[in-house]
Structure 1
């Protein structure tokens, strides 16, 4: 079961969000039938979006992270709610497995250059939109850069997905550490020293649960667990929502007797007759 832990130091200077996202990433892999590199890339983004989702205040608030990139993946999307429930997809999953010089999956090469956009729907007239240029393509570093540039929150982000020999997800998880600007320098240095033990978060997640990771990160810093979440991979698509895509289709595209529209997030197929499609598009049958 996926799990998010939200913890805060007793002096309220340090907040840490830790997630075990193994079940969610494996579910995404199965739904989209993903090979290793798309699994690793999407898994990292889903983990980040889920943790950032629980940072939202309102029950109906949502957050999406979109990566537009020049690499073979072409782009990724992850959408989360305030409970951490998340869904996502990669634009191109037909990617060969490539190992980088460090002996890891070459996610950075598959993403390349591009932008990362965070969209928060907070129930206002207009959503909040923050966009940055990708700084690494490894996703964790890009999320860190987003927090620093768009939200002015000093953060450390770790995201990882460990793929097993059968290409299933052995473990997936990550954490987001955020500190207040007035946090004492000695405390920041303590955290930085501990982070050296988490250079491979996917392996750590395979061996320790979120409570153990929290204890290791905080060390002798007093803290308390504020809340736990148990999110899942969740798509809320419906035939009514999919109907909104039909007016965007050309008459030629809806001229077949049976039109099929596939949800990008869960691969569910929705079917419409030609008569239904024209009625939705024009308000009357043709």
Structure 2
């Protein structure tokens, strides 16, 4: 299991914690989307957050979507995850090139700009849960920390990191989410705040080769931490020609007829995994018969 998430509790169930290592899946996303370094960092952070937030859901068919829309050159990022550790995502403009920020790090905030973060949870109910906040920094981890506090009323600390090699491949990726549960005592709150305040940054821990278990041990190991579960995580897309056929059918008879009149095969691209699906003119004629408008 190369990429995985651990779930833990500490301080007699007053703290719940998740930590993940996601180098493989972030590198895979970089490869299929051909992302620039700053786009890799932005997408990698949101993929890492998405996979940890996905396993927080309990239902087998629950789906989480994280959507960032910003004024910066990256345009936006969309990540979808399920409760089993599968995650997928893409950025609107994967070729963004920006100089490093004042700390010598990827300028993810500059790439995203001002905008909104939307969290959608499809839990199999009539309507999905939708939470939305204005981005407070565009650095993603800080924005999610604010989201948890304001939309879910769960005091949290989110840390996300992506480190690159000189050849622009992914060296390390991962992160953690620590959350205080409603019964948390003041002493535990103060201790956790102090511990997080002393942290040198998640990228420093990742660069030391620390595993998710080691990261949580470093943060809350002296607070009665207990590892509860370990989940594999991977970049997985559930697209198929059948799903794409349904999407083509949904555009309507007029548009499909225009495609047929062009007398050329069409190519449909999946945004999430960059797979290409070809439909011949004869296949389009079959889809036209299925279209209802």
With the shorter chain as reference, the TM-score category is: over 0.9
Match of 2:243 among 236, 241, 244: 241
CA contact (8 A) 1:36 1:163 kept: yes
Partner of 2:150: 149
Match of 1:283 among 267, 287, 290: 290
**Alignment TM-score, normalising by the size of structure 2:** 0.92
Partner of 1:24: 25
CA RMSD of aligned residues (A): 1.6
Measured at CA, do residues 142 and 256 of structure 1 come closer, stay the same or move farther in structure 2, by a change above 3 Å?
farther
CA contact (8 A) 1:172 1:206 kept: no
Q: Give the drift of 1:228.
A: 0.3
Partner Cα distance (2:290, 2:58) in 1: 39
Report SS of the residue matched to 2:190: helix
Partner of 1:158: 159
Q: Give the drift of 1:78.
A: 0.6
1:257 matched to 2:264? The reply is yes
Aligned positions of 1:167-246 closer than 5 A: 167-207=168-208, 208-246=210-248
Deviations 1:163-211 (A, max 9, x none): 1111011101100000023312221121122213434212311321111
Partner of 1:273: 280
Report SS of the residue matched to 1:26: helix
**Alignment TM-score, normalising by the size of structure 1:** 0.95
Report SS of the residue matched to 1:136: coil
Aligned residues: 284
CA contact (8 A) 1:67 1:75 kept: yes
Report SS of the residue matched to 1:245: helix
Partner Cα distance (1:18, 1:94) in 2: 29
Partner Cα distance (2:76, 2:116) in 1: 10
Report SS of the residue matched to 2:194: helix
Partner of 1:73: 74
Structure 2 runs not aligned, ≥5 long: none
Report SS of the residue matched to 1:192: helix
Deviations 1:34-64 (A, max 9, x none): 1101000000000000000000001111111
1:121 matched to 2:128? The reply is no
Deviations 1:1-40 (A, max 9, x none): 1110100015110001001111111111111111101000
Report SS of the residue matched to 2:235: coil
Partner Cα distance (1:277, 1:90) in 2: 29
CA contact (8 A) 1:24 1:233 kept: yes
Partner Cα distance (2:284, 2:146) in 1: 44
Partner Cα distance (1:133, 1:199) in 2: 27
CA contact (8 A) 1:262 1:269 kept: yes
Deviations 1:121-169 (A, max 9, x none): 1111211111111111000011111111111111010011011111011
